[in-house]
Structure 1
Amino acid sequence: MAAAATSTSTTQLSAPYRRSSTLQNSNYNKNNNSNKVPSNGVNGDRQVMVSKRGCNGVDNGGGFCWKASFMYWTLEDVAHVARHHWILCLFAVGLLFFMAVEYTLRMVPASSPPFDLGFVATRCLHRLLESWPELNTLLAALNTVFVGMQTTYIVWAWLIEGRPRATISALFMFTCRGILGYSTQLPLPQGFLGSGADFPVGNVSFFLFFSGHVAGSVIASLDMRRMQRWEMAWLFDVLNVFQAIRLLGTRGHYTIDLAVGFGAGYLFDSLAGKYEESKRRTSLLLHKEASLT
């Protein structure tokens, strides 16, 4: 049992300072035995607070302590963190890399069009759609059908199945999108390939930031997963990826519009869930108050 407990503790991120914490705690206990502090009063309360926090006798005067665990790491501890927390290490490397990129990158002048890596990656698709308008129209029509599928499912879940969460998510999302889209109006990308079959129909003006097409698809897919409709969810995810590629190819959205659209779908689905939960709690509270009266 002792070996199993030791093995389990090594999987924690706090493992590197186990040895230092033990040594310092033993020293603290010795000092504590030689310098007893009354358990009553402010000093006694502070001592109890420090001991409960697991501090090593280091107090900044307000009941809080500093424990710089990395100061006691060994090479074995570093290897442990790299092996069991490689995702965090990867993001740490990414932070340092993009800090260097950001501070050494030449900014795009105001007279030049924005740089978009997604436009660079879909350059061939853009040329194909530009030289083949019929294909562009066909893809636009198919994309409009997909948007109709999203809308139909979200409304169906509310009106037919009685589950309004996806509809609430869409309301939150499109309202926020309108506020952000109007606040910062991005220029239409150069080379935009519009189509009368695309949604919005007739190439009317639209907000670039962020993509409502992508966010709406994510909202529908998340609702499908909650209902364990796995095949439908995966279908929507795949179609959403194709939709994003097409939007880049036609220059209908910047890459950042699509990326934030994915995140917005998850964000507003979560907010809609919290909204529903808050309303349920309020309803239960009112019901209890009514039953008591």
Structure 2
Amino acid sequence: MDSENGNHSNLRERKPPIHISTVNLIKDPSKPAITITMSKKQQFHFADASFLSWSLKDALGFAKNHPIPFVFGICLVFFMAVEYTLFMIPPSSPPFDLGFVITKPIHKILDAQPALNTILAGLNTVFVGMQTTYILWTWLVEGRPRATIAALFMFTCRGILGYCTQLPLPEGFLGSGVDFPVGNVSFFLFYSGHVAGSVIASLDMRRMGRVEMAWVFDTLNVLQMVRLLGTRGHYTIDLAVGVGAGMLFDSLAGKYEEKRKKGVVVAHKV
């Protein structure tokens, strides 16, 4: 009797193995099926390709549902055509910079009025001091080091890249003794630390809800970029990459802080 009960219990405990074979997830049997294999090595078949499930409605609705990637796709095609039809700038010619072309009237005014150029340079140096003061304030007074860490990352990378590729000083550069770096000392062109530092400060202000202050910094940053182009203090690419660098290194500083916090929590648990 005991043996019979044992056999019955064994039969109840045994479960048949699970086998998942071909599962048709699409109602239309004419369309390819999706194969799901439960194993360590995932098998892929061409029939599983995502684009095979796209309908004509999906393709036509791409521009409506995803306008930003759609515009980027058009820009990709356009600039591929531009890139392969333009002639390269010869080594004997100065670099072509669209920002210099647009700000040519400003350059003429500042070239003709050195006093105005000096005043704007001084105001720009004050703005750089505002950036530096805010970034250090967040760390030393408020105890939030993210903006300072981002600035350290940014200027370190700028120094490496600026030394690796030392761009020539733009033709028609209008320097000033009160500009930063003060005294017209040598400086790296790529990328703009002025712009990147302002972006780092502005992003921190938005995180803390200081939206009005952030807008003021953004406005001053735009005016700073116009002035730098007008004085030929930076190429357009220096300024554009400066904006991206500020965002990038702020994000990296945030990830660094998160990693450090997780490490501290794990250390306390141990």
Specify the TM-score bucket, using the shorter chain as the normaliser: 0.7 to 0.9
Deviation at 1:97, TM superposition (A): 0.8
Deviation at 1:70, TM superposition (A): 4.0
CA distance in 2, matches of 1:261, 1:22: 52
Is 1:22 aligned with 2:23? no
Deviation at 1:249, TM superposition (A): 0.3
Query: Unaligned 5+ residue runs, structure 2?
Result: 1-24
The correspondence of residues 191-206 of structure 1 with structure 2, limited to 5 A, is 191-206=172-187
Is 1:246 aligned with 2:224? no
Give the 3 Å change call, closer, same or farther, for CA 283–78 of structure 1 in structure 2: same
Deviation at 1:284, TM superposition (A): 1.1
**Letter of the aligned partner of 2:76 in structure 1?**
L
Q: Which among 185, 206, 216 is matched to residue 197 of structure 2? A: 216
Equivalence for 1:55: none
Give the 3 Å change call, closer, same or farther, for CA 23–109 of structure 1 in structure 2: same
Deviation at 1:288, TM superposition (A): 1.2
Q: Which among 113, 119, 123 is matched to residue 138 of structure 1? A: 119
Give the 3 Å change call, closer, same or farther, for CA 26–186 of structure 1 in structure 2: closer
Equivalence for 1:93: 74
The correspondence of residues 163-182 of structure 1 with structure 2, limited to 5 A, is 163-182=144-163
The TM-score normalised by the length of structure 2 is: 0.85
* 1:199-249 residue CA offsets vs partner (Å, 9 max, x unmatched): 010000000000000000000000001100000000000000000000000
Equivalence for 2:109: 128
Equivalence for 1:270: 251
Equivalence for 1:7: none
* 1:30-87 residue CA offsets vs partner (Å, 9 max, x unmatched): xx9xxxxxxxxxxxxx6346xxxxxxxxxxx961233444456554333311211121
The correspondence of residues 38-77 of structure 1 with structure 2, limited to 5 A, is 47-48=37-38, 63-66=43-46, 67-71=48-52, 73-77=54-58
CA distance in 1, matches of 2:56, 2:258: 47
CA distance in 2, matches of 1:179, 1:74: 49
**Letter of the aligned partner of 2:105 in structure 1?**
C
CA distance in 2, matches of 1:200, 1:97: 39
CA distance in 2, matches of 1:253, 1:112: 18
Q: Which among 132, 138, 152 is matched to residue 157 of structure 1? A: 138
**Letter of the aligned partner of 1:65 in structure 2?**
H
Q: Which among 239, 262, 268 is matched to residue 281 of structure 1? A: 262
Number of aligned residues: 246
Aligned-residue Cα RMSD (Å) equals 2.3
Is 1:190 aligned with 2:171? yes
CA distance in 2, matches of 1:151, 1:85: 39
Answer whether contact 2:192 2:234 (CA < 8 A) is retained.
yes
Give the 3 Å change call, closer, same or farther, for CA 225–48 of structure 1 in structure 2: same
**Letter of the aligned partner of 1:23 in structure 2?**
D
Give the 3 Å change call, closer, same or farther, for CA 251–25 of structure 1 in structure 2: same
Query: Unaligned 5+ residue runs, structure 1?
Result: 1-19, 33-45, 50-60
CA distance in 1, matches of 2:85, 2:120: 40
Equivalence for 1:36: none
User: Which is greater in Rg?
Assistant: 2
The TM-score normalised by the length of structure 1 is: 0.79
Answer whether contact 2:26 2:33 (CA < 8 A) is retained.
no
**Letter of the aligned partner of 1:253 in structure 2?**
H
